[in-house]
Chain A
Amino acid sequence: MARLIRRYSDGTRINHWMVALLFLCAGLTGLAIFHPVFWFFTALFGGGTWTKILHPFFGLLMVLGFVFLFFQVWRDNLWQPRDSEWMRRSPRLLRGDEDAMPPIGKYNAGQKGVFWLFAVCLLVLFVTGFVFWQPYFANAFPILLRRIAVLLHAIAAFLLILGVIIHVYAAIWVKGSVRAMTRGWVTPAWARRHHPLWYRQVNGDQ
């Protein structure tokens, strides 16, 4: 068995899964009160009223968890010139042709895009959520502002959920990624194949 490479520390993984679970709770409660086709999710949270009560707290805790995660990984997610090239060639990756892709570091442009999408959406959700949070904060804001806030909240949540769907799919699609986030390690071949620059960096032979 080849020497395994550590990709995520215990702390990062626990942090990631806390955020993921809270996303699931906030997402399901939010969807339940967004469109009637998702109303049945209220059954998981003790009915409509409890769903409404819990949703903002789930959201708040998720944002709090993401703040810690953000500071652990933001540096590796800074955009670089080769990321634009990767983005240009990404349709070929979607057809399964990974050899067409330029070499990348710890995260590829798709992962970086999803990361920044999460950061921006969660910030919008956090700020707008307070504006119509009944019964604590909503009455402090004029109704027009609440109308703008609910719409922005819905849009940001929609983009966040789309981002998570892409994020989850990519993890399932690229074999070995889920293990990186559950157990913390990847095989050298995995690293060399998907993140060659990062592989070289951790092996110290650039």
Chain B
Amino acid sequence: MSSLQSLDIAARSATTTATPQARHTPEVAKLIDVSSCIGCKACQVACMQWNDLRDEVGVNVGYLDNPPDLTPKSWTVMQFHEVEMKQPDQSTRLEWLIRKDGCMHCADPGCLKACPSPGAIVRYSNGIVDFISENCIGCGNCVTGCPFDIPRLSRTDNKAYKCSLCSDRVAVNLEPACAKACPTGAIRFGTKEDMLEFGAERVAELKQRGFVQPAIYNPEGVGGTHVMYVLQHGDQPEIVGLPAHPTISPLVGLWKGLAKPLAAVAMVGAVLAGFFHYMKVGPLEVEEDEEDESREDRRKRENQSMEVK
């Protein structure tokens, strides 16, 4: 999506004034039910087709993940995790956990916090975090800021890309292309409230089916997300490649939180301090008579050296 004309922007990168937010929209969310995903990649294809992206034809690396990671042209990618899960009787059971990777659309986005370009990253009031490419300067700070390692900087145009949650479709009341294409209903889209409610039902069903700790993945550390997962093993999100407690790195927090305003104030303050010091104390000048004195000195010295000669 382009520009700031949507009038419902809750946050905008590198901006110290209010954002255009005359309109308010309900929070939306995508719920990805890992337990009912069959790994068909219809979502990946739908994403590619709707956004009209054609990634390079890659090389098969020996398993189903293809391409093996997100790229500037593959905004969503299926990750296949083969996991040996311990059973109550200490035996193990192979589980094939398939997760659709992509932007989480954080309520507190690390990319937006780290971005130095005004309006290059926006968060709409419906929760979607979008990259506005015309404002992107290609610095890669969004990559540094993201707790989920999602944005990818293109080698061809030096712009960062990621899933937009089909903000263009959502703006006209359509669901994201991936949700539309999913044949098993593993991807659902609606208001965040509805998705949490539906997810809770799925978690209850999974419990009945014998899973010990199924859960909704909606991590608090980033203020919750607008892409959520139903995980069979909600106590160990790491086994499907999700961080257990994602937060904006304290390094990034310090850099773009406290350091930024403090440093600006200190630098401007130092200039002002110098200005007023000069007004109060005045310059260190060499007096006229000192010039004369040193001339006198020189004469003496020259006389001395004459005497020596």
Contacts and interface: CB of A to CB of B under 8 A. Distances in A.
Interface of A: 2-3, 32-39, 48-49, 51-53, 94-96, 98, 132, 134-135, 138, 143-144, 146-148, 150-151, 154-155, 158, 161-162, 165-166, 168-169, 172-176, 187-190, 192-194, 203, 205
A162 B283 contact: no
Given A39-B14, A169-B274, A187-B291, A203 B301 contact: yes
A40 B301 CA distance: 57
B281 interface: yes
A118 B281 CA distance: 27
Greatest chain A CB density within 10 A among B15, B139, B283, B293 is at B139
B263 A173 contact: no
A134 B140 contact: yes
A206 to B, nearest CB: 12
A192 B137 contact: no
A68 to B, nearest CB: 27
A124 B284 CA distance: 34
Contacts of A169: 274, 277-278
B294 A187 contact: yes
A154 B270 CA distance: 17
Nearest to B274: A169
Nearest to A138: B140
Given A2-B294, A143-B144, A190-B286, A162 B270 contact: yes
15 contacts: A33-B117, A33-B137, A34-B263, A34-B264, A52-B139, A95-B281, A96-B281, A132-B141, A132-B144, A135-B138, A143-B149, A146-B143, A151-B254, A175-B284, A189-B286
B285 interface: yes
Contact of B144 (A37, A95, A150): A150
Contacts of B60: none
Contacts of A172: 274, 278, 283
Interface string B260-291: 11011011001100100110011111100011
A81 B93 CA distance: 72
Contact of A96 (B138, B284, B286): B284
B137 A51 contact: yes
A36 B16 contact: yes
B25 interface: no
Interface string B237-267: 0000000000001011011000111011011
B176 interface: no
Nearest to A33: B116
Contact of B264 (A2, A38, A95, A98): A38
B263 A165 contact: no
A106 to B, nearest CB: 17
Contacts of B143: 138, 143, 146
B15 A36 contact: yes
A22 B14 CA distance: 25
Contact of B301 (A162, A193, A205): A205
Counting from the closest, the 3 A-B pairs by CB-CB distance are A169-B274, A134-B140, A33-B116
Nearest to B293: A189
B153 A154 contact: no
B295 interface: yes
